[in-house]
Chain A
C-alpha cells in the first residue's frame, strides 16, 4: 500500500460514492498529486462501483483533469484572441527561457509544467496565465520573471 491509496479512500469518504462525486474526487487527486494515474482511475472505479472505462472517459474529457504527470506548479498561458493580440508570444518566450522547457513539457525537477489554455476570462487585462488556481494578468516579461523567481524559491 502506498500513501496515495489513502488519498483516494479519504476523497471517497469526503465526497461520497455517488456518480456525482466522481469529478470532485478526480479534482482532489489532481490537487494533491498533480495528475491522475491509470492506477488511480481503477482504484476510483472500484470505490464507486463503476467501470474503469467510465472514470477514464470522464477524466480525459476535461483539460484540467490531467492524466499525464505534471509538475508541482502547472502554468497555463491563455492563448485566446485578446491575450494573443496583447503579447502572449512574448510571455511564452519569457517562460520558456526561464524554465528552459517548451510548451507541454515539465522541468526535470518536476516543479513546473508549461501549458497553453483557452480563454481564462482576463481579456481586459491580457496577457494572462494561471499557476495552479492562481490567476496573473497584465503580464510583461519583467512581471513573469518576478513571479517565476518567487515560485522557484517556494
Chain B
C-alpha cells in the first residue's frame, strides 16, 4: 500500500519474553512507588473506552485503607463491533495475568478475578490451563496472588463496572450509584481496581519497555497503541494494533472499501462519524475515543436500519432499573419504527433527539446516557437527502 499507510504496532500481541514471566519477576521486586511512577509517566489511560488515567486509579485504591482488596479484569466485551479482548486472551493470556499480578502487588491485593463474558465460555479450559502455570510460577516468586475466572451469563450491562460487581456477587447486573467509586467500594464493597483486559497488558508493556520508550507511541493526549476491531464494509476485517491519535480519513483510506459513508467509532454506544467529518476527526482521547470498535458502513447501507438495529440492542440490554433508560429505549425504538413505516412524519425525529438528550442527563449509567444520541443526527441528514 501507499506510504500513507498507518503504522502497525506490535506491542500487545508481540512475543513473550524468552525467559518465562521475565517482566513480571523483574517488576515484582521493584518498589511500588517506582512502578506507579512509570505508569504515570507513560500517560496510560484505560483501554475500555472511558480513558481514566490508570496510575491514578491504582494509586487511589492503594491509598484506601483496608487489608482486603481486589483486582478485577473486565473481559465482558459486549460492545457491538468489539472483539479484541477475545483475541488478546486467546493469543497472550500470560500478559494479562502478569499485568493483574503487578496491580495486585501495587494495591496490596491477594486475589484477582477475570470476569469473562458468557459468550466466551469456550475460552475457559485454555485459560484455566494457563492459570495453573501462572499460579505455579507466582508461588516460585514468593507471590500468593491468585486469579479466578468469573463467568458472565449474557448481559451487556455487566460490562459497566458496578453492574459487573453486582453480577460477581450473585445479583442482577444493575449498576450502582456513584460515588462511591470502585477505588473505595468495589467487589464486596472492598477497594477494587477494575481495568480492561488491554489496560493490564499495556501496564506489562510499560514495565518491559520503560515509560520513555512507550511514550514515543501515540500523541500527547493519547499515549501508546490501541487494538482496533475492524468490521463492517471493509475488505480486510480483523484485529489491528495501531498508534492512537490517527486521523479518521487515513483510517478509512486504508480500511474502507472505497465507498465508505460513515464509521461507527466505539460501538453502538459510541459516535457515528459521517463522511464529511472524516478529515477533522482524530481517533483518541483528544478527539473521538473508542474501546476499539470501528464499524465501517458504505453507501449501500441505510443508516435507518443501522439505527434500528442499535435501538433493538439497547432496548433488550437496558437493565430496566432506571425509568429514563427503560422507557426511553422502548420509546426511541417505537419512534424510529413509526418514522420508518411512515406513521410519523420526519420531524418526529427531532422529538426523538430531544428524548435521547433527556436520557443523557437523567439515565443512571453509561448505557442510557449514550443510546443512539450520536447516530440520530446522521439518520436525519441521510433521510433528508
A binds B: yes
Give the B-binding residues of A (Cβ under 8 A). 18-24, 26-27, 57-58, 61-65, 79-82, 84-85, 117-126, 130, 133-135
Partner of B153, one of A65, A79, A81: A65
**Chain A CB within 8 A of B317 CB:** yes
Residue numbers in B under 8 Å from A122 (CB-CB): 83
Query: Can you show 6 pairs from A to B with CB atoms below 8 A apart?
Result: A62-B118, A62-B154, A79-B312, A81-B232, A121-B82, A124-B83
Partner of A81, one of B151, B168, B268: B268
User: By the criterion CB–CB under 8 Å, are B232 and A85 in contact?
Assistant: yes
Give the A-binding residues of B (Cβ under 8 A). 77-83, 86, 117-122, 151-156, 167-173, 188, 229-233, 237-239, 268, 295, 301, 306, 309-310, 312-313, 316-317, 319
User: By the criterion CB–CB under 8 Å, are A24 and B168 in contact?
Assistant: no
A64 to chain B, nearest CB (A): 4
Residue numbers in B under 8 Å from A24 (CB-CB): 151
User: By the criterion CB–CB under 8 Å, are A123 and B231 in contact?
Assistant: yes
Alpha-carbon gap, A124 to B296, bound state (A) = 11
Alpha-carbon gap, A24 to B86, bound state (A) = 21
Partner of A57, one of B152, B172, B232: B172
A6 to chain B, nearest CB (A): 22
Residue numbers in B under 8 Å from A18 (CB-CB): 170
- Known contacts A23-B170, A61-B172, A135-B122; decide if A124 and B151 are in contact (CB<8 Å): no
User: By the criterion CB–CB under 8 Å, are B239 and A124 in contact?
Assistant: yes
Partner of A64, one of B153, B233, B268, B319: B153
Residue numbers in A under 8 Å from B301 (CB-CB): 85
Residue of B80, B82, B317, B319 with most partner-chain A CB within 10 A: B80
A11 to chain B, nearest CB (A): 13
A20 to chain B, nearest CB (A): 5
Residue numbers in B under 8 Å from A124 (CB-CB): 83, 229-231, 237-239
- Known contacts A81-B80, A85-B232, A121-B83; decide if A61 and B121 are in contact (CB<8 Å): no
User: Nearest chain-A residue to B320 (Cβ)?
Assistant: A61
Q: A82-B231, A121-B120 are in contact. List 19 more A-B contacts (CB 8 A).
A: A20-B169, A23-B153, A23-B167, A27-B153, A64-B153, A80-B313, A82-B80, A85-B233, A118-B316, A119-B79, A120-B119, A121-B86, A123-B82, A124-B229, A124-B238, A126-B231, A130-B119, A133-B122, A135-B119
User: By the criterion CB–CB under 8 Å, are B237 and A125 in contact?
Assistant: yes
Residue numbers in B under 8 Å from A134 (CB-CB): 122
User: Nearest chain-A residue to B319 (Cβ)?
Assistant: A61
Residue numbers in A under 8 Å from B237 (CB-CB): 123-125
B165 to chain A, nearest CB (A): 11
Residue numbers in B under 8 Å from A135 (CB-CB): 119, 122
Residue numbers in B under 8 Å from A20 (CB-CB): 168-170, 188
Residue numbers in A under 8 Å from B153 (CB-CB): 23, 26-27, 62-65
Partner of A82, one of B152, B172, B239, B295: B295
Residue numbers in B under 8 Å from A118 (CB-CB): 78, 80, 156, 313, 316-317
A40 to chain B, nearest CB (A): 15
User: By the criterion CB–CB under 8 Å, are A81 and B155 in contact?
Assistant: no
Residue numbers in A under 8 Å from B156 (CB-CB): 118-119
Residue numbers in B under 8 Å from A81 (CB-CB): 80-81, 232, 268, 295, 306, 309-310
User: By the criterion CB–CB under 8 Å, are B81 and A82 in contact?
Assistant: yes
A115 to chain B, nearest CB (A): 10
Residue numbers in A under 8 Å from B229 (CB-CB): 123-124
